[in-house]
Amino acid sequence: MQLIPAKLKRLPMPILIAGAIALTSNSLPALAASASFGPGNPFYAPSTLPFQAPPFDKIKDSDYQPAIEAGIAQQLKEVEAIANNPAPPTFENTLVALERTGQLFNRVMNVFSGVTGANTNPTLQKVQEIETPKIAALNDAIHLNTKLFHRVETIYNERNSLHLDSESLRLVDYYYREFVHAGARLSDADKARLKKINEEESTLSNTFINQLLAATKESACVTTDKSKLAGLSEAQVAAAAQAAKDRHVEGWVLPLQNTTQQPDLTTLTNRSTREALFEDSWNRAERGGPNDTRNTIARLAKLRAEKAQLLGYPNYAAWALEDQMAKTPEAALKFMNAMVPASTARAASEEKEIQAIIDAQHGGFQVQPWDWNFYAGQLRKAKYDFDESEVKPYFELNTVLQNGVFYAAHQLYGITFKERKDIPVYNPDVRVFEVFDTNGRPLALWYCDYFKRDNKNGGAWMSNFVTQSRLLGTLPVVYNVANFTKPAPGLPALISFTDVTTMFHEFGHALHGMFADTNYPSLSGTSVPRDFVEFPSQFNEHWASYPQVFQHFAKNYKTGAPMPPALEAKMLKAAKFNQGYLFTELLAAAELDMQWHTLPASAPMQDPDVFEKQALEKTRLLLSYVPPRYRSSYFLHIWGNDYAASYYAYLWSEMLDDAAFQWFEDHGGLTRANGDRFRSMVLSRGNTENLNKMYNTWLGKEPSIEPMLRDRGLTSTSR
């Protein structure tokens, strides 16, 4: 099972990024006057398109900044009116009122965040640079507002006598904990210090994102010698030529994906090309110059430790995990550490088998990271008579989408899909589908943007342009983004089974957003802890290989013939191959994240390369042949995407998802009854109740790690 990062933004109070500069009502005129904003701006009023979809045909780059600043000013004014309300605090005049604030700000920021992640340009990056500290200031101006917190605290203390329904009680608890977590109880002096830390942290995080985007583009592997690409298919060579043409360079370009290992390393036969491609990936953000991220992340780690100390915690992880399912870094580390021995032992066993192949071929070298996937492919071929190139003709992207992803969702939940050509998009690669519920009523709008571009962040993710809320009368507008190789013109988009799994994964997030059915936007859809949010997505991956689904979409793109059962069996059997390596690289990244974020404030600034080596040694994961899935210097999740101290969430959620799939198998598998139960008890509920209780009630017991280890092939019974 390949785990693909999903980028999800959490808007706790229609707010986005943590950080601060001073914002008060006195700053409103200057803020609002800094740019022109009026009825001509497409964000001025809710969109008139179906589902309030963004009017991308009308939005210009110049529209974002004035709309963001007007949104900041408007929300601050709305919040101050609540804080200064002379009436005694009530649930309606304080918390429900807060839920209604920031609608202009959300309208523009949901779109701005989506476009800057998937289709950015220098103009938008400059807007990010300018607006990030202002957006951060809004967050602190709300959470550190003494009068507002007093109202929230009063309602919290009286909550048991207010006769509220369960979702409303959850909102009371949510707001109180959010304010306390953000520093509402600090002294004025400490609040001032926190604002400065938050301002610098948010600015550095944005700097990291832009540095990494540029570094990844600049570090792409380039060659003018076609023979260096031996082993790649004609379609892959054509795509490399097109990438070079798009960049206006001679020869062929192999763009980098966000992970350490690159897909082309599996088939490139020229060892020097493999080494060059790996080194380009490994050193992408450590080449010196303006796009070297090491100073940025060292300062970020230091700032976060100082922030945690100011808030009364021993380290940043202790602060960050307080509202997660794991609760403490100790619990997360215990969970991860328990899996290290089995994972590294399997990786060591795999290394011996790979080295034996190299020796048998008189290679004369010890296996290196750039060799692993190439020889692992040969080993898999020898063990299972399986070659990835054999199956790609059966995975044409649109067929996988229509007959796989959509088919599984229809079988489980009864929903249907219709492509909309009349909804404007931000890039020609983007497609839009309207989603209909079982009764035929419109449920959601869903966008997919699957192909890699140089102006797109790496990885794959989901988020919302519009969040579901009965209070606000909004239905969800959800999007998925990925980085699959775009075929040359006229050629089909043939993808790997890993890419197929990515599509199912991200659509699992999309279902979580589309099925949201809550009153309050702060509790809707994917607004859940990090170590729960990956559960619905990883669970949905299982349907990619489920026989009924797989046989429905795995058809040869030329003939329409289904994949031969023998080839299907080989592929699925081979899926557990190399799991020691794959699980170890994931564990290494998760442990590395936790080591960075358990640094105390007293620790000096760290040299990232030295720290990384020491951290991996400490966790028994420093293996020369298994580098971490992400190196510290390009670990976008933890420095730029709100997964700081939370990358373990992919592993934690995998435990939840494998136990969940076992439940489905025990109760009849892919049935509407099972899907409807899962939707009603989990996917629709958002953050409206305690997540541990929600999950255990649905499952009927607490989860264990055994199904996960078995699914990974890391137990003796699964070999």
Residue-wise pLDDT tens digits, 606-632 = 999 999 999 999 999 999 999 999 999
pLDDT for position 36: 85
Reduced 3-state DSSP string for 217-249: HHCCEEECCHHHHCCCCHHHHHHHHHHHHHHCC
Q: Mean of the pLDDT values across residues 278-291?
A: 96
* Tens-place pLDDT, residues 646-699: 999 999 999 999 999 999 999 999 999 999 999 999 999 999 999 999 999 999
Take residue 489 and report the two structure tokens written for it. 């013109």
Q: Strands 252-254 and 221-223, how do they pair?
A: antiparallel
Gap between the Cα atoms of 414 and 29, Å rounded: 51
Q: What is the pTM of this model?
A: 0.88
Are residues 5 and 629 in contact, defined by beta-carbon separation less than 8 angstroms? no
Handedness of CA 527, 530, 535, 537 (dihedral sign): positive
Exactly one of 306, 506, 541, 654 is catalytic; name it. Answer: 506
Residue 535 DSSP SS3: helix
Amino acid at 306: E
Q: Mean of the pLDDT values across residues 154-167?
A: 97
User: Mind listing the domains of the chain with CATH numbers?
Assistant: 25-213 (1.10.1370.40)
Decide if 506 is catalytic. yes
Residue 667 DSSP SS3: coil
* Tens-place pLDDT, residues 505-533: 999 999 999 999 999 999 999 999 989 99
Q: Concatenate the DSSP letters of all residues of 305-370 into one string.
A: HHHHHHTT-SSHHHHHTTTSSS-SHHHHHHHHHTTHHHHHHHHHHHHHHHHHHHHHTT--S---HH
- Confidence at 708, pLDDT banded by 50, 70, 90: confident
pLDDT for position 716: 57
pLDDT for position 22: 35
Number of Cβ atoms within 10 Å of the Cβ of 617 = 10
Task: Spell out the residues 6+ positions from residue 117 whose beta carbon is closer than 8 angstroms to its own.
Answer: 7, 456, 457, 461, 463, 481
**Cross-strand partners of 500:** none
* Closest C-alpha among 10, 20, 168 to residue 518: 168
Q: Concatenate the DSSP letters of all residues of 178-196 into one string.
A: HHHHHTTTS-HHHHHHHHH
pLDDT for position 458: 85
Look at 177-186, 369-378, 697-706 and tell me which has the smallest mean pLDDT.
697-706
Q: Nearest 5 degrees, angle CA 332-CA 338-CA 340? A: 105
* Tens-place pLDDT, residues 46-79: 999 999 999 999 999 999 999 999 999 999 999 9
Token look-up 């009068």 returns 147
* Closest C-alpha among 132, 126, 137 to residue 196: 137
Give the DSSP letter of residue 104: H
Gap between the Cα atoms of 244 and 222, Å rounded: 8
Take residue 570 and report the two structure tokens written for it. 């080989």
pLDDT for position 387: 84
Q: How distant, in Å, are the alpha carbons of 25, 354, 626 from that of 367?
A: 63, 7, 10
Percentage of the chain modeled with pLDDT above 70: 94
* Tens-place pLDDT, residues 10-36: 333 322 222 223 343 333 333 333 458
